[in-house]
Amino acid sequence: MIIASKKPIEEIIQEVKDYKRLLILGCNECVTVCEAGGKKEVEVLASTLRMHFIKEGNEKKIEERTLERQCDHEYLEEIRGIVDNYDAILSLACGVGVQFTAEKYHSTPLLPGVNTCFLGANEQRGMWTERCQACGSCILARTGGICPISRCAKRVMNGPCGGSSKGKCEINKELDCAWQLIIDRLRDLGRLDDYEIVAPIKDWSTERAGGPRKVVREDVQV
Amino acid sequence: MSLRTLEELKASGELRTSSKLEAILKMGHLAVTSECGPPRGSDPKAVTEKAELIKNHVDAINTTDNQTAVTRMCSLAACIHVKQMGLEPVLQMVTRDRNRIALQSDLLGAASFNINTMLCLSGDHQSFGDCKQGQNVHDLDSMQLIQTVRRMRDDGKFLGGDDIKRPPNIFVGAAANPFADPFEIRVPRLAKKIACGAEFIQTQCIYNLDKFEEWMRRVRERGLHEKVFIMAGMTPMKSAGMAKYMKNRVPGMDVPDEIIARLSGVPKDKQAEEGINICVEAIQRLKEVEGVAGFHIMAIEWEEKVPEIVERSGLYPRPQV
C-alpha cells in the first residue's frame, strides 16, 4: 500500500491560516491503514486546528469528511454538493488523492495534510517499511523475491556493494543489506548458483525516468 | 609467471590496449599503482605536486572520483593533468553521479586524451559526503559499467547500438573487497566482475592478511587469478587513532586488533613510522602469495611516503615501458 506520514502541525497551520471555512478530507484506503489520514486522524487534526485558531482569536469553520477513496471519481462525487461551502480542502489522502480531488474541484484550493512516503508494508505495529518503487518492470523472480531497487540504497542490480557489513547497509546500521537478504534467500531456496547470473542493464523507461506513466486495459474499458 | 619483454609481449598479440599498466602486468612484473585524490578546489598543482612525489615509484596513478561522496575536482580533469606530465593515469569512475549518457560521454572524453586505464566503481553513498540531500543516479551499477566499457572498446558500439568512431582503448579494472559480508559470495562476486569483463582488480585496503590469503586461496581454487590481475590494496596507518577510525567507522574495513595494539604500543611520535613498517611487512608477505599481481598503495594525503614503501618493499626500480 501507499505509506504516508503526518505533516508537522506547524506546517499545516501555516498553509490553512488564511482560509475561514475548511474541509478536512480523509481517505478510507491506504492512509487509514497506515494511520496518517483516515477518519480518526481527520478528527484529531480537526480538533487540534479548532483549538489552535480559537486560542489565537481566529475562529474558523472546520468540518470533517472521510471518503471511501480519493483516487476514484465515484467517491469524489459525494462531496460535489458541499464543496462550495469551503474556502479550501485539506486532504489527508496520499499525493494521488490530493491531486485527483484538485482536478475534480478546480476552483477550490487543495492542500496536502500528509507526506506521501513510499509503497510499503506494515512491518510491525507503528512501523511501515518500503518494498517497491514501482519501476514498472518487476525483477523479483531473479532476486529471491527481495527488491534491490527499493531496498538497496544504491539500487545495485549486481550487489552487494563493498559497504555491506554484518548483514547491514553502510548508510545505517539499522538497515538490512538487501543483497544479504537476497543471498540468504537464494541459499535457502537452493539457488545460490543464480547469484552469478549477471543482471542486465536495466531499462528504466518504465520507471519515473520515462515520464508520467499510464496503464491502459482495453479489455476492461467501457 | 616468467618475465617477458615488451617486444615479446607485443609479438604475442596479448595486449588489448595501450595501457602501461596492462603491459607491465602482462610482462609478468608485480605492478605498483598509487592514487592522487583531487582537491576541493581548482588548483591543478594539488594534483601535479602529488603526482610528482610518486611518479618514479609507481606504474600508474589513480585519480579518485569524488571519493567519500565529497565534491572535488573531477577525476577526468585530474587524469588529464597527470597525463600531461607524461605519466599514466587510471580514471576512476563511479556510477553514483552520472547516468549512462554521461558515463559513455566521459569515457570518450578520456579516450580523446589517450587515457587508457580505468577503474569502475559504484561509489560511496552520498549520505557520507557534503551533499547529503542530493540524488544518486545508479542508472548502471559497477558491473554494468565494466560491461559498457568493454562493449565500447571491443565491439565499438554505444549502449544504444550505434557505432563509435575511434572507440575508447581502455584497460578495465574493478574493485574487490575481500572483507565485506557476506564472505561466502566474495569470490563469486569477483567471478561475476570477471565475467563482465574486468581485467584487473584493485582490492580494498588489506590489514587482515590471514583473511585476504583465505580469499586468495578460494580465488585460486576457481582459477580466477589466471583470468584477472589482482592488485592488493595497501594503506599505511598514520596512527593508532586512524586504525581505530578505520576499524569502527569505515564501511567494509577489516582492521584486526593486533594492528591497533601494535600501533598503540609505540610512542605517538613513532606511530607513523610503525604504520609504514606494518605496510612494508604486509607487502613483503603478500608478494609471495600466488595470484597477487601487484600492489595499489593508497597513502591518503601521505603521498610522500609512497617512495619509501615501494623501495623498502623491494618493488623499486619500476620497469621501464
Quote the DSSP letter at residue A198.
P
- Collect all residues from B whose CB is shorter than 8 A from any CB in A: 96, 100, 122-125, 127-128, 136, 138-144, 147-148, 159, 175, 177, 180-182, 184-185, 188-189, 191-192, 195-196, 204, 251-252
pTM (predicted TM-score): 0.96
Q: What value of ipTM does the predicted structure carry?
A: 0.94
State which residues form the domain around A190.
Answer: 134-204
pLDDT for residue A142? 94
With CB atoms and an 8 Å threshold, state whether A159 touches B147. no
**What is the C-alpha separation between A140 and A157, in angstroms, rounded?**
11
pLDDT given for residue B1 in this prediction: 56
Taking contacts as CB-CB distances below 8 angstroms, the residues of chain B near A165 are 180-181, 251-252
Cβ–Cβ below 8 Å for B141 and A157: yes
CATH at residue A16? 3.40.50
Mean pLDDT over A121-147 rounds to 96
User: How far is the alpha carbon of A55 from chain B, nearest alpha carbon, in Å?
Assistant: 37
- Other beta carbons within 10 angstroms of residue B71's beta carbon come to 12
Question: Which residue ranges make up each domain of chain B?
Answer: 6-312
Q: Is residue A219 part of a domain?
A: no
Q: Phi then psi for B204, rounded to 5 degrees?
A: -60, 155
Whether residues A156 and A77 share a domain: the answer is no
If asked whether residues A168 and A94 sit together in one domain, one would say no
Contact B180 A160 (CB under 8 A): yes
The dihedrals phi and psi of B42, each to the nearest 5 degrees, come to -110, 10
pLDDT digits (tens, 9 = 90+) for A164-221: 889 999 999 999 999 999 999 999 999 999 999 999 999 999 999 999 999 999 999 9
CATH, domain range B6-312? 3.20.20.220
**A87 occurs within a structural domain:** yes
Maximum distance among all Cα pairs of chain B, rounded to whole angstroms = 62
Alpha-carbon distance values, A39 to A71, A92, B42 (Å): 16, 9, 57
Are A139 and A65 in the same domain?
no
- Residue of A157, A180, A200 lying closest to B182 (CB–CB): A180
Do A102 and A17 have their domain in common?
yes
Of A154, A198, A200, the CB nearest to B138: A154
Round to whole Å and give the CA distance between A71 and B141: 36
**Residues A74 and A166 both lie in one domain:** no
Do both A140 and A178 map to the same domain? yes
In angstroms, what separates the C-alpha of B195 from chain A's closest C-alpha? 8
**Could you give the residue ranges of the DSSP H alpha helices within chain B?**
6-12, 20-27, 45-54, 75-84, 100-112, 142-150, 186-196, 209-221, 240-249, 257-264, 271-286, 306-312
Same domain for A60 and A88, yes or no, is yes
Q: Please tell me the distance in Å from B257's CA to the nearest CA on chain A.
A: 17
Exposed / middle / buried, residue A80 (Cβ in 10 Å: 0-12, 13-18, 19+): exposed
Q: Are residues A23 and A83 in the same domain?
A: yes
Determine the residue type at B302. Answer: W
Residue B177, C-alpha cell as written in the block: 573487497
Answer yes or no: do A95 and A180 share one domain: no
The pLDDT-based confidence of A148 (bands split at 50, 70, 90) is: very high
Q: Do A201 and B148 touch (CB under 8 A)?
A: yes
Upper half-sphere CA count for residue A2 (Cβ side, 13 Å): 21
Domain assignment present for A214: no
Q: Residue B130 — φ and ψ, nearest 5°?
A: -100, 5
Quick check: is A158 in a domain? Answer: yes
Cross-strand bridge partners of residue A127: A124
Cα–Cα distance for residue pair A22/A109, rounded to 1 Å: 10
Identify the closest residue of chain A to B141 by CA–CA distance.
Answer: A156
Contact B252 A177 (CB under 8 A): no
Contact A180 B204 (CB under 8 A): no
Q: What is the pLDDT of residue B34?
A: 98
According to DSSP, the residues that pair with B88 across neighbouring strands are: none
Q: How many CA atoms lie within 13 A of B274 on its CB side?
A: 18
Contact A170 B124 (CB under 8 A): yes
* Structural domain includes residue A220: no
In a domain, A26, yes or no: yes
Residue A125 lies in a domain: no
Average pLDDT, stretch A10-26?
A: 98
**How far is B206 from chain A, CA to nearest CA, in Å?**
13
User: For every one of its 321 residues, what pLDDT tens digit does chain B have, with 9 covering 90 and above?
Assistant: 589 999 999 999 999 999 999 999 999 999 999 999 999 999 999 999 999 999 999 999 999 999 999 999 999 999 999 999 999 999 999 999 999 999 999 999 999 999 999 999 999 999 999 999 999 999 999 999 999 999 999 999 999 999 999 999 999 999 999 998 888 899 999 999 999 999 999 999 999 999 999 999 999 999 999 999 999 999 999 999 999 999 998 877 899 999 999 999 999 999 999 999 999 999 999 999 999 999 999 998 899 999 999 999 999 999 999
CA–CA separation, B282 and B259 (whole Å):
11
Q: Residue B187: helix, strand or coil by DSSP?
A: helix
Give the one of B122, B127, B177 whose C-beta lies nearest to A171's C-beta: B127
Residue A221 included in any domain: no
Count of the separate structural domains present in chain A: 2
Same domain, A12 and A114: yes
> Does A55 share its domain with A146?
no
State whether A25 and A103 are in the same domain.
yes
